[in-house]
Chains A and B, each alone.
Chain A
């Protein structure tokens, strides 16, 4: 039981970081971005590429303390975050920006659906379909709770790292959105775009910031997923439904809602495994989605229906 909850929090961290991007794009650019999952995949594979690059220059990665990875993975994470942000800005420039000028929200969704397929297949063309790993080091899991208390609890140092960095990212984003001018401009645009424009907010700058933040968090989430599970071209596609479920559960536009929603969806997936079996865990997100749409479509923290 405790083990399932801990696992749920680890998956939930990945979902939460991805869902923040979905909810920000949804509330500021006003469309459901089906290509967001691909940003996670690209982030994960870009980090892997950078890691190989570092290994070619400085030799194989030395594990850092109890972790399965060394400092080069942290550096690769930084490279991947920047590169993924550039990718998101490029897709926006070539596609979404053109459609925003004369398209409706629904055309944007369809375009994002097409962009998702192009990005995923391009990635599979470049990297192949075989699963990859950042590190093949075997980790010793730390036993936090003995086996006779509620089934016990073991956690690997990598999982602790994932939980810790997720918390740091969320706190950092909170400070950004509440303390900086750009963060406040983003919140204003999300609440009322016309009024924000009239007040002199540079909406294009806000949109760029939205993509950068969403993409950076997506890269981090993708690397976490690659670290705790494995790297696959379908990584982002498989996470897309949980991301949407988390964003809607939390209430569209609410960053804290997305985090809470991500953790709840992660827990629900993890806790459903003993009931429905591991093969149906992805369907749990769908059940959560249907339930929230029927009971409270505005989500936990949302205002707009």
Chain B
């Protein structure tokens, strides 16, 4: 039976990561899928959440700011607040302008945050990162597998809540305005909808979900370092959304499962096949493969596995009232 137990343990581990990434991809879907905002700094906003929650909840760090020892839910709330605040600042600077300025600005903030994480030793622990991030209910559940399962259950609950909330949100009048702005900003403005405000709201909410995802990651692994939040993370998350189908929340989650499965599988295959001394080099091929997958999807099936649903509102169920496809 030990094999089965190993498989269960591995499966739990895999699913926890899928759930955490799924949360982040849902946030990205609100930004890109529904509002058409191109965020290239996803890893940066995830990092803000992870570091905030770690600093708020961890026991006192010597020679460092932070380590306040607050309860974990407060840390997660703080993670969402700081990620949202960062999004607000970026949004105010870039969202009034052409859409690609947002891409450049979010790229910039991710680069800058990476520098802060690496160099601000007094705050982020520098290249060594932050350790001893408390694990929730670790005092109650001692067994490793049981704890992983409990964490998975909690993460799935959070993902489910976010999914339901987002589904309601994008089907509400507010969500329809987002799509209207995405499709034709001038038309939406002429109907009295202030595009900038709606964009900013969607951007901030999306980034708050990314921050929450970062916090969940930090408390699951118990240790974070700057190299956990490199541009490759942004790229993986984007691939998940595009493969699954942007503009569709179920597609976003499906894409997360598919891409993360492909990523871990290709990683395992490389580890098995390639001798140890060449593994660093072979790992670059893994990124090339995922990159080619993204480009192929963009070229062949830009809608992804599950495309955007044509019916936006339950009041518009008749087939005549179709929303045009992208």
Q: Which residues of A contact B (CB under 8 A)?
A: 26, 31-32, 34, 95, 98-99, 103, 105-107, 109-111, 113-115, 117-118, 121-122, 124-125, 128-129, 237, 240-241, 244-245, 248, 277, 279-280, 282-283, 285-286, 289-290, 293-294, 297, 305
- Pairwise interchain contact B100-A105, C-beta atoms closer than 8 A: yes
Which residues from A are CB-within-8-Å of B280? 129
A287 to chain B, nearest CB (A): 9
Which residue of the partner chain, among A113, A122, A248, A293, contacts B284 with CB atoms under 8 Å? Answer: A122
B149 to chain A, nearest CB (A): 34
Interface positions of B from 24 to 62, Cβ below 8 Å from A:
36, 38, 40
Closest residue of chain B to A284, judged by CB?
Answer: B112
A125-B97 in contact given A32-B104, A95-B299 (Cβ < 8 Å): no
Interface string of B94-118 (1 = CB under 8 A from A): 1011111101110111011001101
Closest residue of chain A to B119, judged by CB?
Answer: A279
Which residues from A are CB-within-8-Å of B302? 103, 107
Q: Would you give 16 A-B contacts (Cβ < 8 Å), ordered by A?
A: A32-B103, A34-B40, A34-B103, A98-B299, A106-B100, A110-B38, A110-B242, A111-B295, A121-B284, A122-B288, A125-B281, A129-B280, A237-B231, A248-B101, A293-B101, A297-B101
Give the distance in Å from the alpha carbon of A129 to the alpha carbon of B100 in the complex. 31
Which residues from A are CB-within-8-Å of B298? 99, 103, 107, 110-111, 114
Give the distance in Å from the alpha carbon of A277 to the alpha carbon of B238 in the complex. 33
Which residue of the partner chain, among B119, B232, B290, contacts A280 with CB atoms under 8 Å? Answer: B119
Q: B305 interface residue, CB < 8 Å from A? A: no
Q: B285 interface residue, CB < 8 Å from A? A: yes
Q: Which residues of B contact A (CB under 8 A)?
A: 36, 38, 40, 93-94, 96-101, 103-105, 107-109, 111-112, 115-116, 118-119, 231-232, 235, 238-239, 242, 280-281, 284-285, 287-288, 290-292, 294-295, 298-299, 302
Give the distance in Å from the alpha carbon of A237 to the alpha carbon of B99 in the complex. 21
Closest residue of chain A to B94, judged by CB?
Answer: A293
Give the distance in Å from the alpha carbon of A117 to the alpha carbon of B288 in the complex. 7
- Pairwise interchain contact B115-A283, C-beta atoms closer than 8 A: yes
A200 to chain B, nearest CB (A): 29
Which residues from B are CB-within-8-Å of A286? 108-109, 111-112
Which residues from A are CB-within-8-Å of B290? 117
Closest residue of chain B to A117, judged by CB?
Answer: B291
Give the distance in Å from the alpha carbon of A279 to the alpha carbon of B111 in the complex. 12
A282-B98 in contact given A95-B299, A99-B298 (Cβ < 8 Å): no
- Pairwise interchain contact A293-B292, C-beta atoms closer than 8 A: no
- Pairwise interchain contact B97-A244, C-beta atoms closer than 8 A: no
A239 to chain B, nearest CB (A): 11
Which residue of the partner chain, among A114, A280, A289, contacts B295 with CB atoms under 8 Å? Answer: A114
- Pairwise interchain contact B292-A289, C-beta atoms closer than 8 A: no
B134 to chain A, nearest CB (A): 30
Which residue of the partner chain, among A103, A113, A125, A129, contacts B288 with CB atoms under 8 Å? Answer: A125
Q: Which of B98, B100, B280 has the most CB of A within 10 A?
A: B100
Which residues from A are CB-within-8-Å of B292? 118
Give the distance in Å from the alpha carbon of A297 to the alpha carbon of B100 in the complex. 12
Closest residue of chain A to B37, judged by CB?
Answer: A106
B22 to chain A, nearest CB (A): 20
Q: Which of A241, A277, A294 has the most CB of B within 10 A?
A: A241
Closest residue of chain A to B36, judged by CB?
Answer: A106
Give the distance in Å from the alpha carbon of A214 to the alpha carbon of B108 in the complex. 22
Q: Which of A106, A128, A248, A285 has the most CB of B within 10 A?
A: A106
Extra 12 A-B pairs, beta carbons < 8 Å, given A114-B235, A118-B291, A125-B281: A34-B107, A103-B298, A107-B298, A111-B295, A114-B294, A118-B295, A121-B285, A244-B104, A280-B119, A290-B108, A293-B93, A297-B97
Which residues from A are CB-within-8-Å of B115? 279-280, 282-283
Which residues from B are CB-within-8-Å of A118? 287-288, 291-292, 295
Give the distance in Å from the alpha carbon of A121 to the alpha carbon of B40 in the complex. 18
Q: Which of B93, B108, B111, B299 has the most CB of A within 10 A?
A: B108
Closest residue of chain A to B298, judged by CB?
Answer: A111
A35 to chain B, nearest CB (A): 11
A-B pairs with the 3 shortest C-beta distances? A118-B291, A121-B284, A286-B108
A241-B291 in contact given A110-B238, A110-B242, A117-B235 (Cβ < 8 Å): no
Which residues from A are CB-within-8-Å of B97? 293, 297, 305
- Pairwise interchain contact B101-A279, C-beta atoms closer than 8 A: no
Give the distance in Å from the alpha carbon of A38 to the alpha carbon of B211 in the complex. 30
A286 to chain B, nearest CB (A): 4
Which residues from B are CB-within-8-Å of A115? 291, 295
Which residues from B are CB-within-8-Å of A109? 38, 100, 103
- Pairwise interchain contact B285-A125, C-beta atoms closer than 8 A: yes
Give the distance in Å from the alpha carbon of A124 to the alpha carbon of B101 in the complex. 29
Q: Which of A26, A280, A286, A297 has the most CB of B within 10 A?
A: A286
